[in-house]
Homo-oligomer: A and B are copies of this chain.
Amino acid sequence: MKKILTAFLSCAAVIAAAQPKPSGNLVQYVKPIIGTQRMGHVFPGATVPFGMVQLSPETDTPSYELNGKYNPDVYKYCAGYQYDDKTIVGFSHTHFSGTGHSDLGDFLIMPTVGPVQLNPGTADKPGSGYRSAFSHANEVSAANYYKVKLDASNIIAEMTTSTRVGFHQYTFPKSDNAHIILDLMAGIYNYPDKNVWTYLRMVDDSTVVGYRSTNGWARTRTLYFAMTFNKPFIQMGYKKFDKREVYGGFWGKFARVKNFPELAGRQLKTFFDFKTEEGEKIKIKFALSPVSIDGALNNMKAEIPGWDFDKVKNDGQAQWEAELHKIVIEGSKDEKEDFYTSMYHAMINPTIYMDVDGQYKGLDQNIHKAEGFTNYTTFSLWDTHRALHPLFNIIDPKRNSDMVQSMMAHFDQSPEHMLPIWSNSANENWCMSGYHSVSVIADAVVKGNAPFDANKALDACVATARHRDYEGIGYYMDLGYIPDEKNGNSVSSTQEYAYDDFCIAQMAKKLNRMDVYEEFNKRAQNWKNVYDPKTGFMHPKMADGTFRKNFDPFTTINQGFIEGNAWNYTLYVPHDPAGLIKMMGGNKRFITYVDSLFSYNLPDKYFAETEDITKDGIIGNYVHGNEPSHHVAYLYDWTDKPWKAQEKIRMILPRMYKPTPDGLGGNDDTGQMSAWYIFSSLGFYPVAPATDQYAIGSPAVQHAVVQVGDGKTFTINVKNQSDKNVYIQKITLNGQPHPGMFLSHSDIMNGGEITFVMGSKHK
């Protein structure tokens, strides 16, 4: 009954979204261009919520190597697009959103006129290849819609998507020499051997299918496609850039140089010739599948049977409306653009990774069928366990439990028998530290959002956490910490494991698995083992129990921490702030410590070491652009000066999030940065997922209504809101004064109303 109800509600939400809401159109506030300048690593192109396709322009895809060495420019192009660039190379179908590592960029398409050019050329030499100059004045970037004029050809490029299909619409000038290039060599984070194999087959004169196998960040990955034009191409040509053509001679059997119905090789580019009238639209449907060519064809047929571009665009935008309407805020246009673009960025990843028939490829390289859940990939869990999944547990619990089930399937298929660390297209890339899947799973279980076998999920968590062979866990289990000699992230990993173990303990308690609770509750204290009372920091500890002598709490290099220095990471005990405060000398000393974090003037030499963020991502020594400090401002709630939390949060919000191309202070990290914004704007934050507790900050919205399921709403009223009135004077919950600085999950999910009265002076 529950399942049926959920499905019904889900449909109802879509239907409701298709009708105008009193709150009006929210998609208008989504500006995908926000964060495309500098290090946001987001893309401006088209996608639907959690879509498999992210159809977006590449302004460059630098080679991984430059003069035989790693090319640092590659990092800028994680999402393929840099706002300051003047040219577009083409439009590809897969993009990470806000990651700190790159891959994808599959199946680059570019429309051109004139002689066929199969190299993109360089940005500094117009006409040197198929790339084109463009201008932001001729560019529209919206939810599920991207449009740009290509100056080289006067072609208007438009694109939209369904979950598994990209839809291109190119308005051509009159030309006897019009082309669509399909570059199977192009890709993001390309290096010479990244393409393992590509294959293309012509089904008829308007459809080709194939696949691309790559050895990228996803080590062993194949993505299948089906591509259909709205009119027959005159002919298809190709060029093979492989060094070796051992079997190329077989083509000699055929009296042709074009229209080979089957092509295969490591390095292939193809093009399709057309004649176009002035203003003629060449449309392309481009479907993906992780399973098979037939899977891609089925996805296309199921999702976009016709050729109505506007319908596809509108359907996708209606999906966005439905998602955005889950939180309706009042605020200025800028605030709404920040908020709804954050909502948008929060709902791109994880991505759906299965065909319409439920089939997907697993980590075991077998094809599986998702029974009773939607399968997802692109889990950047070191980032997203903090606030993104907790956000889903409020506004989209069904989807979050599907993600948990995807993680459990990952566990079942994992050759290492571990839950995901960072999963990408049925691959584990082991990126970053901790085993934070357990936080996501425990958060769902503790919050009662577990329509899955929770005991089995606990077993998977325990197996992962006991994987002695993985990144120091054996030492951690034996010694209570990871010795500095044994691991470069010995301190931060010890801290993260301790938090994750707390999550397992909470989940075990909820499931009445008290033996597991005891074991992991004990492990959850292990952060204490790396605190050095002499220095007052979490500090690298040697195998012999002594703390390391050579130590700099400001540097992130070789100090036992990952993406953070000791000063920041020392505060990373999200599950026991009270214990941490006591350990660090009590309320007053702790406040001084956190204050100094924000006020410290970090010398440039340290900034240069800080990964993933622009200088704007740092406030003093507080690094918002990296995640380990995301909870830090809220720690004041555990002191006698919670107003300091309010002050800091209202300082961070406008500095780190602006409705401009350079508006993100660092990688969006597949939505975690955005989720922080959403929670913090609403006035509360999940400092320790896997508890039911939220710490109160300072709401930045004027008013908000959050859909919490079953038709219930949680309304946030903010009185006397202004940029200066950042301090909470009074809180009432459902009309009753609300004591303390915490909310429980049920306070929110039961529905109701919270009212914040704000003022310019702290209480």
Chain A residues close to B by CB (< 8 Å): 64, 191-193, 196-197, 199, 201-202, 210-211, 213, 215, 217, 219-220, 243-244, 246-247, 250, 253-256, 261-262, 264-266, 292-294, 364-367, 415-417, 429-430, 469-472, 474
Q: Which residue of B254, B262, B266, B293 contacts A470 across the interface (Cβ within 8 Å)?
A: B254
Asked whether A264 lies within 8 Å of B367 as measured between CB atoms, the reply is no
A171 nearest CB across to chain B (Å):
32
Beyond A244-B193, A253-B470, A430-B253, is A211–B262 a contact (Cβ under 8 Å)? no
Asked whether B253 lies within 8 Å of A219 as measured between CB atoms, the reply is no
- SS class, residues of chain A in contact with chain B: loop
Asked whether B262 lies within 8 Å of A366 as measured between CB atoms, the reply is no
Integer count of this chain's copies in the complex? 2
Q: How far is the CA of A404 from the CA of B426 in the complex (A)?
A: 38
Asked whether A292 lies within 8 Å of B366 as measured between CB atoms, the reply is yes
Given A196-B196, A250-B430, A262-B416: 20 more A-B contacts, CB < 8 Å:
A191-B246, A193-B243, A193-B244, A196-B266, A197-B213, A197-B220, A201-B365, A210-B365, A213-B213, A215-B265, A219-B247, A253-B470, A254-B469, A255-B469, A261-B415, A292-B366, A293-B364, A293-B366, A294-B366, A294-B367
Q: How far is the CA of A429 from the CA of B249 in the complex (A)?
A: 10
Asked whether A215 lies within 8 Å of B197 as measured between CB atoms, the reply is yes
A425 nearest CB across to chain B (Å):
13
Q: How far is the CA of A606 from the CA of B406 in the complex (A)?
A: 67
In the complex, chain B residues whose CB is within 8 Å of the CB of A256: 469
In the complex, chain B residues whose CB is within 8 Å of the CB of A219: 247, 250, 264
A489 nearest CB across to chain B (Å):
10
Asked whether A293 lies within 8 Å of B197 as measured between CB atoms, the reply is no
Asked whether B191 lies within 8 Å of A244 as measured between CB atoms, the reply is yes
Q: How far is the CA of A191 from the CA of B244 in the complex (A)?
A: 10
CB closest chain-B residue, reference A474: B255
A564 nearest CB across to chain B (Å):
19
Beyond A430-B253, A474-B255, is A197–B199 a contact (Cβ under 8 Å)? no
Q: How far is the CA of A415 from the CA of B292 in the complex (A)?
A: 16
23 A–B pairs (Cβ distance < 8 Å), ordered by A: A192-B244, A196-B213, A197-B197, A197-B213, A197-B215, A202-B415, A215-B246, A215-B265, A219-B264, A247-B429, A250-B430, A254-B469, A254-B470, A255-B469, A255-B472, A256-B469, A261-B416, A261-B417, A262-B415, A262-B416, A292-B365, A293-B366, A294-B366
In the complex, chain B residues whose CB is within 8 Å of the CB of A193: 243-244, 266
Asked whether A471 lies within 8 Å of B253 as measured between CB atoms, the reply is yes
Q: How far is the CA of A105 from the CA of B242 in the complex (A)?
A: 24
Beyond A191-B244, A219-B247, A244-B191, is A201–B415 a contact (Cβ under 8 Å)? yes
In the complex, chain B residues whose CB is within 8 Å of the CB of A64: 246
Q: How far is the CA of A354 from the CA of B247 in the complex (A)?
A: 26
A299 nearest CB across to chain B (Å):
14
Q: How far is the CA of A366 from the CA of B255 in the complex (A)?
A: 27
Q: How far is the CA of A292 from the CA of B367 in the complex (A)?
A: 8
Beyond A250-B429, A471-B253, is A220–B191 a contact (Cβ under 8 Å)? no
Asked whether A264 lies within 8 Å of B470 as measured between CB atoms, the reply is no
Asked whether B255 lies within 8 Å of A365 as measured between CB atoms, the reply is no
A416 nearest CB across to chain B (Å):
6
In the complex, chain B residues whose CB is within 8 Å of the CB of A293: 364-366
Q: How far is the CA of A199 from the CA of B364 in the complex (A)?
A: 10
CB closest chain-B residue, reference A255: B469
CB closest chain-B residue, reference A263: B415
**A-B pairs with lowest CB-CB distance, top 9:** A262-B415, A261-B415, A220-B264, A253-B430, A250-B430, A294-B366, A201-B415, A196-B197, A253-B471
CB closest chain-B residue, reference A413: B201
CB closest chain-B residue, reference A201: B415
A559 nearest CB across to chain B (Å):
18
Asked whether B430 lies within 8 Å of A201 as measured between CB atoms, the reply is no
Q: How far is the CA of A313 from the CA of B576 in the complex (A)?
A: 66
